[in-house]
Copies of this chain bind each other. A is one copy, B any other.
Amino acid sequence: MSKYISLTEDEKDTILSLDIFRSVKKGTILLKRGQKSRDEYFVLKGCIRKYYITDGEEKTTAFFTEMEGLTPHCAINNTPSEYFVSCVEDTILTVAHIDIGVELFIKFPKLQLMCKVLSNELLAKQQLNFDEFKIASPEERYLNLLQNRPDLIQRVPQHQLASFLGMIPQSLSRLRARIMEKSKE
């Protein structure tokens, strides 16, 4: 964190005293559908994945890697979760009750403005992502991902990428083959 903001010793101590750091194995499920949890996650190293299961099919809608945080919908609204969260790789992350975030927020005023600015930026980024997704065709979405998050294509299984891109694994495979063909010419 000190990469991003400078903290006093007091602040560091407070954060460390919370004992929220976890190291979890690949495949571990952090949150299941129907579960009520008020925890939020922040990835320090590794990758976690958010997915739905409909008709027995996994539908991946987001990945979170280094320095990205996931505050599940269920933690905000205090309702059972609609989706699952699991680890794509061995992952080190913080797991903290959502109110701890609010406590920190109250204790350290200088975090407050940062929070507004950050959450605005996050919201804006989220919206741009959504816009891009809507505007692009499946093939363009894959090419965009290749541009913007080449790491994901390396570290995440194809079938999870596929549903993240809004298609089935076979279509992604075919699409990749088609692109390879084109680039040969």
Contact = CB atoms under 8 A, between A and B. Distances in A.
A179 interface: no
Given A115-B116, A124-B73, A129 B130 contact: yes
Contacts of A49: none
A134 B131 contact: no
A166 B134 contact: yes
Interface string A116-129: 10011111101111
A130 B76 contact: no
A119 B121 contact: no
A70 to B, nearest CB: 9
A163 to B, nearest CB: 8
A62 B112 CA distance: 29
B133 A134 contact: yes
Q: How many identical subunits does the complex contain? A: 2
Nearest to A136: B166
A76 B121 contact: yes
Given A116-B115, A116-B119, A119-B116, A59 B134 contact: yes
A61 B105 contact: no
A52 interface: yes
A126 B124 contact: no
16 contacts: A54-B135, A61-B131, A71-B120, A71-B123, A77-B121, A77-B124, A82-B128, A102-B116, A106-B113, A115-B116, A116-B119, A123-B123, A129-B130, A133-B133, A134-B163, A134-B166
Given A52-B131, A77-B124, A105-B116, 20 more contacts: A54-B135, A59-B135, A61-B131, A73-B124, A73-B127, A76-B120, A76-B124, A77-B121, A82-B128, A116-B116, A116-B119, A119-B120, A122-B123, A126-B127, A129-B130, A133-B133, A133-B134, A134-B163, A134-B164, A134-B166
